[in-house]
């Protein structure tokens, strides 16, 4: 047992302490979004991929990077093209997926965050089932009122 090996190993373990890469976290959040839109549990998705639900959790959090073949399998099981997982990618994505200037995309992250939450998903699903346009307008007005937004636009 060499002292320099201990120092090197402990230092690298602290440095790689299971921190999610931003792109891995984004891809994982898109997996979670699609899974939730389908009403599928982590356990069910894991079964279809031959994984445990804990492995699915790690993918969704971005802690574990999703390899090419696994991403292909996820796209197939979730019924989306592979590009779906990269849609709305953060501008700081590696290799400049979105060049600044004319290609800049609007900041829509809050919408994706909301729709990725359980409450956001349930609210969205219930809202689209409302058939009466007047009731839909009343719900929107109610939510705006509760949020403290001025209704007289």
pLDDT digits (tens, 9 = 90+) for 131-142: 999 998 999 899
Instruction: Measure the CA–CA gap between 28 and 42, rounded to whole angstroms.
Output: 12
| Residue 111 lies inside a defined structural domain of this protein | no
Classify 81 as helix, strand or coil.
coil
Question: Is 104's pLDDT higher than 90?
Answer: no
Task: Identify the pLDDT of residue 92.
Answer: 62
Task: Identify the pLDDT of residue 68.
Answer: 95
> Could you tell me the CATH number of the domain that includes residue 85?
1.10.260.40
Judgement on whether residues 122 and 153 belong to the same structural domain of the protein: yes
The dihedral built from the CA positions of residue 68, 21, 93 and 88, taken in this order, carries a sign that is: positive
Judgement on whether residues 78 and 126 belong to the same structural domain of the protein: no
pTM: 0.61
Residue 101, both tokens: 């200037």
Question: Is 58's pLDDT higher than 80?
Answer: yes
Residue 47 · residue 55 · CB < 8 Å:
no
Going by the DSSP 8-state scheme, the letter that residue 67 receives in this structure is: P
Residue 65 · residue 24 · CB < 8 Å:
yes
Token look-up 């592979």 returns 82
What tens digit of pLDDT does each residue of 79-97 get?
Answer: 999 999 998 787 764 444 4
**Whole domain around residue 27: which residue ranges?**
3-102
| Residue 72 lies inside a defined structural domain of this protein | yes
Name the more confident of 85 and 6.
Answer: 85
Percentage with pLDDT > 90 across the chain: 41
């Amino acid at each position: 047992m060499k002292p320099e090996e201990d120092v090197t190993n402990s230092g690298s373990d602290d440095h790689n302490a299971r921190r999610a890469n931003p792109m891995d976290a984004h891809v994982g959040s898109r997996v979670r979004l699609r899974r939730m839109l389908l009403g599928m549990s982590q356990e069910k998705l894991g079964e279809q991929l031959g994984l445990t639900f804990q492995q699915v959790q790690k993918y969704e959090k971005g802690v574990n990077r999703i390899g090419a073949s696994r991403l292909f399998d996820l796209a197939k099981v979730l019924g989306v093209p592979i590009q779906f997982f990269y849609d709305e990618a953060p501008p700081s994505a590696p290799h400049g997926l979105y060049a600044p200037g004319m290609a800049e995309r609007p900041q829509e992250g809050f919408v994706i965050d909301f729709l990725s939450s359980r409450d956001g998903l349930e609210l969205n699903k219930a809202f689209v089932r409302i058939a009466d346009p007047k009731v839909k307008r009343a719900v929107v007005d109610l939510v705006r009122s509760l949020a403290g937004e001025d209704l007289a636009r």
